[in-house]
Amino acid sequence: MDRIQFEDVSKRYVLGDRANAREALVAAAKRAVRPRRAPAPKEVWSLRDVSFAVADGETLGILGRNGAGKSTVLKVLAGITSPTAGVSRTRGRVAALLEVGTGFHQELTGRENVYLNGAILGMSRRDIGRAFDAIVDFSGVERFLDTPVKRYSSGMYLRLAFAVAAHLDPDVLVVDEVLAVGDAEFQRKCLGRMEEAGSEGRTIVFVSHDLDALTSLCRRSLWLDAGQVRASGDTRELVRDYLASGGVAQRDSGPLASGGPITLHGVGVYSAVSRAQAALVRDEPVRIEVDFSAEEDVAGLDLAVFVTTASGVRVLDQALSDGGPPRISAGRWCVTLEVPPILNVGEFTVGVWFGTAHTDLLDEPVTASFTLFGSDRGRPGRILVQDLPMSLSRADGSR
């Protein structure tokens, strides 16, 4: 059975609405003194006929550029705002983490806010007490638990708010981009907790610009564009299409460079599986293609392709001559190098060298760039993912 049903939901905002009664009264007084024709209010539709359903225990990701309507969807789900048209139905308790400290009372202590949030979710004091130690341990704010949260830093706020939302047994957990406030270690901790919540059968709706996190956490996602559903389906395929829609961020229109008789026309980086550019996943081979021409025969002409990390570490350096003496005569050529899925997630550049054993003809350290996304398997510090076999045996030789 579906835990969430979102049917033809539209949300309209009117620009220029007065924020409170005082501002409205001041504006009315000004109009009485100097009457003038009020301009017609401008309308903005944050959502237009958005429909989707989330099954019980499913984790749904939502991606899209700024202003696409992602946060509005979550606010409607959490009951913070009502749709202008359409229907949103959610069964069970909903815990929403839409901005730092959502639902916290500034004057209350961290301890008091834990119990307040639990009561809002409909939990008994005894149930909250059972989860209390886990909440405090996860948040790491034990020293400041009896301090009013108005004195918390944004990081402390976030830690406690997420700990409360994730540990008080909600039926539906709604999480916005707020995880970006925390450090990398805390983000991994939050993602791990959300994976646990999903395995416990809780329904999660997750919005993030972190496509790696979205891919690792959500099997299915929704792509919002200008308030409408552009596509939905498998997260990995959706992310690839989403990245590709933003254009190819590499130099592949030539000529890129020339040196002596060599002209480098272009360097392209593609998925060896789908030929997609820029949108590359970590666990698929990457194909690098070098388009060049030689105006004349050069004895012993060789070329090398190298891949470098964003921090300047050269992780791959492959030459044509590594497979035997190259035979490049005058003319236009294309060299293809297929890299198996050994690189970890991150940003990389591709460089190209041409020359002989005695002469450098062309050396371009950056000819193209690409980004690998996916899961780093909790090992962000490593560059290569080789999955080498390891064996375990007792030192005394016994089984």
Q: At 275, is the pLDDT very low, low, confident or very high (cuts 50, 70, 90)?
A: low
For residue 227, which amino acid is it? G
- Look-up: residue for tokens 């030789």? 397
Question: Are the C-beta atoms of 3 and 171 separated by less than 8 Å?
Answer: yes
* pLDDT of the residue at 290: 94
Give the pair of three-digit tokens for residue 47: 């959502």
Q: Average the pLDDT over 167-171 and give the result.
A: 79
Look at residue 138 and tell me whether its pLDDT is greater than 90.
no
Chain CA centroid to CA 22, Å: 41
DSSP symbol at 57: T
Superfamily of domain 257-373: abc- transporter (atp binding component) like domain (2.70.50.60)
Identical fold between 2-245 and 257-373: no
Q: At 279, is the pLDDT very low, low, confident or very high (cuts 50, 70, 90)?
A: low
Look at residue 101 and tell me whether its pLDDT is greater than 80.
no
* pLDDT of the residue at 19: 46
* pLDDT of the residue at 261: 92
* pLDDT of the residue at 92: 86
What are the backbone angles phi and psi of residue 212, rounded to the nearest 5°? Answer: -65, -45
pLDDT-above-70 percentage for the chain: 85
Q: Which of 146, 204, 210, 217 is nearest to 182 (CA)?
A: 210
* pLDDT of the residue at 342: 93
Burial of 206 (0-12, 13-18, 19+ CB in 10 A): buried
pTM recorded for the entire structure: 0.63
Q: What is the pLDDT of residues 309-345, one digit of tens each?
A: 877 788 999 999 998 888 899 999 999 999 999 999 8
Burial of 38 (0-12, 13-18, 19+ CB in 10 A): exposed
For residue 25, which amino acid is it? L
Q: Average the pLDDT over 47-57 and give the result.
A: 92
Q: Which of 267, 223, 268, 257 is nearest to 243 (CA)?
A: 223
Higher pLDDT, 290 or 65: 290
Please tell us whether the domain made up of 2-245 is placed in CATH 3.40.50.300: yes
Look at residue 47 and tell me whether its pLDDT is greater than 70.
yes
**Region of 141 on the Ramachandran plot (φ > 0 left; ψ -120 to 50 alpha; else beta):** alpha
The residues spanned by each domain of the chain are 2-245, 257-373
Q: What is the pLDDT of residues 285-312, one digit of tens each?
A: 999 999 999 999 998 999 999 999 877 7
* pLDDT of the residue at 34: 66
Q: Average the pLDDT over 390-394 and give the result.
A: 85
Residue 108 to residues 125, 147, 169, Cα–Cα distance (Å): 17, 8, 22
* pLDDT of the residue at 178: 61
Look at residue 181 and tell me whether its pLDDT is greater than 70.
no
Q: At 29, is the pLDDT very low, low, confident or very high (cuts 50, 70, 90)?
A: low
Higher pLDDT, 80 or 241: 80
- Look-up: residue for tokens 């293809």? 336
Q: Average the pLDDT over 9-14 and give the result.
A: 90
Mean pLDDT of the chain: 82
Query: Which neighbouring-strand residues pair with 53?
Result: 5
Q: What is the pLDDT of residues 227-257, one digit of tens each?
A: 999 999 998 888 877 776 653 334 444 577 8
Chain CA centroid to CA 395, Å: 45
Look at residue 198 and tell me whether its pLDDT is greater than 90.
no
